Amino acid sequence: MENIQTRIDLTPLTTAIDAIRAEVGKVIVGQQQTIDLLLTALLADGHVLIEGVPGVAKTLTAKLLAKTMSVGFSRIQFTPDLMPSDVLGTSVFMPKTGDFVFRQGPIFSNLVLIDEINRAPAKTQAALFEVMEERQVTNDGTTYYLEEPFMVLATQNPIEQEGTYRLPEAQLDRFLFKIVVGYPDAAAEVAILRGHHLRRNLSDALDAISAVLTADQLAILRSQVHQVHVEDKLFDYIAQIVQATRANKSLYLGASPRASVALLNSAKALATLRGRDFITPEDVQELSPSVLRHRILLTPEREMEGGTADEVIAQLVQKIDVPR
């Protein structure tokens, strides 16, 4: 892996990522893995589903990431009565001209935070299919394109079931990652309490966050990610992992080819995040749970045994020979 013809100068990328980490770190304590995965998704141009119980800073982390960039930001609270037009926009009749004019909805932004995405019914969730995959909205036969960058950060609570709707597999497949946010450890929780005690309120802390990255700069960083070197044997390794999900007896549904592409793109982004211009098997292994856990379905028998998607992913990855 060391015989690489073209080297990439990752200094601007490293500088930008360090600056974002520093800004987010002014408010968020711990959650290093979550932040790394969000930065990886940002560089890989992918959407993220964040799952965790209330109070673990899912929404706050997403808002902080948006504040570190000079891009448009919108927040949509999903509710059972939310309609597709409330998200995408709608045609409005203008009496003066006698014409209908399309009024863009909150999805027309650069970084869109969708809170509690599983609270909206299937009709509203389906409205996200086209815009998340094709970065466009079609209304009355006219197509409206979204500006780059475009990234959806959606949160959901795994515990509460009343008043929620399960996300369709087709929509889950459009998320690059599903990040599971757990509780902080004791040391991190003490640091959270100290930070809360020292600052007057959260709005002051958010005001202290500065934008350190523009849309044009992000486009340049993403172009560097595309140039990351990938050896042929790593293409095989990624394909073997994803194909193993389709032949596993514990799984009712395996991962799609979109998962293979997601694993490749995110591994390239993670490599640059770690200061490398080539990916390693360890990058692929580290990202496999986040890329695959929402794209597979356990069999009823495995679920009754108390199995989890992450356990199955770990087992199948362990069985595949690591290329060296």
pLDDT in tens, 262-287: 999 999 999 999 999 999 999 999 99
Band of residue 201 on the pLDDT scale cut at 50, 70, 90:
low
Give the Å distances, CA to CA, from 28 to 20, 56, 73, 180: 12, 10, 19, 16
Tokens of 270: 């993670």
277 vs 226: CA distance, rounded Å: 10
Q: Is the pTM of this model over 0.85?
A: yes
Strand-pair category, 251-253 with 89-94 = unpaired
Other C-beta atoms lying within 10 Å of the C-beta of residue 27:
19
Q: Which superfamily, per CATH, for 228-323?
A: Magnesium chelatase subunit I, C-Terminal domain (1.10.8.80)
Tokens of 143: 């197509």
**CA angle 98-102-108, nearest 5°?**
165
Contact 255, 296 (CB under 8 A): yes
Considering the chain, tell me which residue range(s) the CATH 1.10.8.80 domain(s) occupy: 228-323
List of residues 6+ apart from 146 with CB closer than 8 A: 107, 108, 131, 135, 136, 137
Band of residue 45 on the pLDDT scale cut at 50, 70, 90:
very high
Percentage of residues in the chain having pLDDT higher than 70: 94
Considering the chain, tell me which residue range(s) the CATH 3.40.50.300 domain(s) occupy: 10-227
User: What residues are paired with 155 via a beta bridge?
Assistant: 50
303 vs 129: CA distance, rounded Å: 28
Q: Which superfamily, per CATH, for 10-227?
A: P-loop containing nucleotide triphosphate hydrolases (3.40.50.300)
The predicted-structure confidence for 211-267, as pLDDT tens digits, reads as follows 999 999 999 999 999 999 999 999 999 999 999 999 989 899 999 999 999 999 999
Contact 267, 323 (CB under 8 A): no
